[in-house]
Structures are given as C-alpha cells and as structure tokens.
Amino acid sequence: MTTRKTIIATILGTIVLFLFDGAFQAIPNFGVRAVERLETNELTAPKFNELTDRMAYIATDQTVSFVATKQANFYNLSKFFVIEFLSAFVIALLFALLFAKIKFGSLKDRLMLTLGFALIASFAIHIPYFNWWGFSFAYTIGVVSKTVLGWTLITFIQNRFIFKIK
C-alpha cells in the first residue's frame, strides 16, 4: 500500500469516526446521553470544590456514588471537540497503518480482526469501569457499541474503498 492511500484512509477514517461518534452519542438514554445531571446543594458544593482534579465517593447506608471532579471551565465544548477529533485521528491512523502493512486477508478477515480489537479494548476499558466504578449498564453498552460499530465502520471504509480489499 502506498503512503498516499494511508494518508487518505487516515483522513477519511478520522472524519467518519468523528461524525459517527458524535451522532452515536446523541442517541437518548444510551452512552453519554445516559448520564444524568444532578443539581448541587449547599452541603455538597463546597466539598466538590475541594476535590477538584481528584476522584471521590459518596457513601450512604444504601448507595455509593463515585465522583470525578473538575473545575467548571474544564467542560469546554470546543476543547472536547478537538480532543475527540484527535482521538478519532489516532484511531484512524493506527488502523490505516496496520491495514496498509498487512499483505493478507480478505475484507471479512480484516473486519473480524477489527471486531476482535474492539472487543478486547471494550473488555479492557469499559467493562472494568462498569464493574469497579459503577458506570450504568446503558452507558457501558453505549460506549461498547460505539467502539465496536465505529471501528468496524472505518475498517470497512478504509479497506474496501481506499485499499481496495474484497
């Protein structure tokens, strides 16, 4: 495979993955949309300010809540889009470099390899968060689905249309 094809596969993969992830995150009650906003009250707000950039948990006699606390200015949509785009770029680049170097395998083989990678990543990252940190089932299924479907989609596009694998 040529460098030109690898660059095109990376650019196209980045754009597709960035748009796919954004659209997928907009699905109500699924993935990121499954996270609810709670209003603070006078008893908790000062303590949260003390916890900035740290993890904490709140335990009652019936529940445990894990909290990741950041300054309000951390939640900046422009910054999130840039980081999300860079993340999509790195994923697309790594897949383009991998599949540009592989000299064997049909499109189906490459899709199955990607599915394997996506499942490994999901079980290594998302399932422990579900298990140890109590991330909701809807959120976990959402991010696992986004990973599996998004990575499979860019693998299909890169290999079928750029690298011309059948």
For the chain, what is the mean pLDDT?
90
Q: What CA–CA distance (Å, rounded) separates 143 from 160?
A: 25
Residue 149 placed within a domain: yes
Span of 32-46, 124-138, 150-164 with lowest mean pLDDT: 32-46
What confidence category does residue 165 fall into, taking pLDDT thresholds of 50, 70 and 90?
very high
In the prediction, which pLDDT does 42 show?
58
Residue 106 has pLDDT above 80, yes or no: yes
Range of the domain at 157: 3-37+75-162
Over residues 126-145, the pLDDT tens digits come to: 999 999 988 889 889 999 99
Looking at residue 30, the DSSP 8-state letter turns out to be S
Residue 131 placed within a domain: yes
Residue 70 placed within a domain: no
Residue 84 has pLDDT above 90, yes or no: yes
What confidence category does residue 43 fall into, taking pLDDT thresholds of 50, 70 and 90?
low
Residue 64 placed within a domain: no
Residue 88 placed within a domain: yes
As for how many domains the chain has, the answer is: 1
**% of residues, the chain, pLDDT over 70:** 96
Residue 83 placed within a domain: yes
In the prediction, which pLDDT does 100 show?
93
Residue 4 has pLDDT above 90, yes or no: yes
> Among residues 121, 129, 125, which one has the least CA distance to residue 150?
121
Residue 42 placed within a domain: no
Q: What CA–CA distance (Å, rounded) separates 97 from 20?
A: 21
Joined tokens for residue 95: 């897949």
Who has greater pLDDT, 60 or 47?
60
Residue 59 placed within a domain: no
